[in-house]
Amino acid sequence: MPDLIKIAVDAMGGDGSPKKIIDGIIHNHKSNHENFFQLFGDKDEIFKYIDKKINKNFYEIVHTKNTVKSTDSPLEAAKRGRDTSMWLSIDSVKKKKSDIVISAGNTGALLVIAKLNLKMIENIDKPALSALWPNKKGMSVVLDLGANIECSAKNLVDFSIMGASLYKSLYPTDVPNVALLNIGSEELKGNEIIKETFQILNEKKFKTFSFAGYIEGNELMNGEVNVIISDGFTGNVALKTAEGTANFIISELKQALSGSILGKISSLLNISNLKKFKKRLDPRLYNGAIFIGLDAPVVKSHGGTDYIGFSNSLDVCNRIVKGNLIKKINENI
């Protein structure tokens, strides 16, 4: 058997765990036999769902009954000790027993426990939370999405390098094209930090990505750039706005197509196109935020996603490890 990618899984994090987590692993394993899963959590509960569904050569269970609750503050989660499923899964990647860690649990707790256990990559001051967004031409990497409310110009330059490295690890044949999220496309617009970052990125020629300048919020989905950089406050607002807009469009479309006989007939005639439209906006397909800047990759699955969404986040884990994300950042920072 070839070397497998070792994924440390917090099996007790998120809604409906561990069943949803295990169902996601089973679903993922049907099409991908490259992963080995270290499962941290209640052994009896996990075994109940995974027994005879996956060959034992592809997983192991590390038992603990202690978990981080969704209602815990980051400080409370850290105080719960070193035997929670979240802490142990992160400790596994720290000790090089696994290649990457994933949790669908408490986001704040995950970020704090990861920072307590893992070291920063040399020359990086702050880690960032990144995610994949769909655009007209494919996918974009967007960061920071909330880990850092305030950022310096150096932080944003670091995010550019890390975001480009992440994009290249996920899409090896594409060239990362970086832009700064701003209130306008003109060089004079924006606050002093944004303008300083623009100047640094514009003057310093990076070998691993091209710099496209500024991008406005209404251009995020155009696909002209594939790595979008902002501070955590702006990025989180943009993320929530995009999610809310997508939900609004889907809701209005459903109402329009089911509110009258003509609408129902129209939906039947266009059912193939409607399925494609729904799939394109399905958040499960883009599940898996990546906490980058630490010396090991940490992936956060949405706590409310289903097993399909969790399976897709496992695909992200696989591609990050195969794409040598940490090595790429170290080489370029």
Rounded to whole angstroms, the Cα distance separating 149 from 126 reads 11
| High-pLDDT (> 70) share of the chain, % | 93
Which range of residues forms the domain containing residue 41? 1-124+293-333
Same domain as 327, residue 178: no
Same domain as 318, residue 246: no
Same domain as 317, residue 247: no
3 DSSP 8-state letter: P
pLDDT exceeds cutoff 70 at 266? no
Q: For residue range 122-148, list pLDDT tens digits in order.
A: 999 999 999 999 999 999 999 999 999
**Tally of structural domains, the chain:** 2
Same domain as 227, residue 305: no
Same domain as 139, residue 89: no
pLDDT exceeds cutoff 60 at 252? yes
Same domain as 57, residue 180: no
Same domain as 130, residue 116: no
Same domain as 119, residue 9: yes
Structure tokens at 301: 């699955």
């099409």: which residue's tokens?
A: 31
pTM of structure = 0.90
Check if the beta carbon of residue 104 is closer than 8 Å to that of residue 17.
Answer: yes
Same domain as 239, residue 143: yes
Number of neighbours of residue 279 by Cβ within 10 angstroms: 10
**Per-residue H/E/C for 88-124:** HHHHHHHCCCCCEEEECCCHHHHHHHHHHHCCECCCC
Same domain as 224, residue 158: yes
Q: For residue range 165-199, list pLDDT tens digits in order.
A: 999 999 999 999 999 999 988 877 889 999 999 99
Same domain as 187, residue 102: no
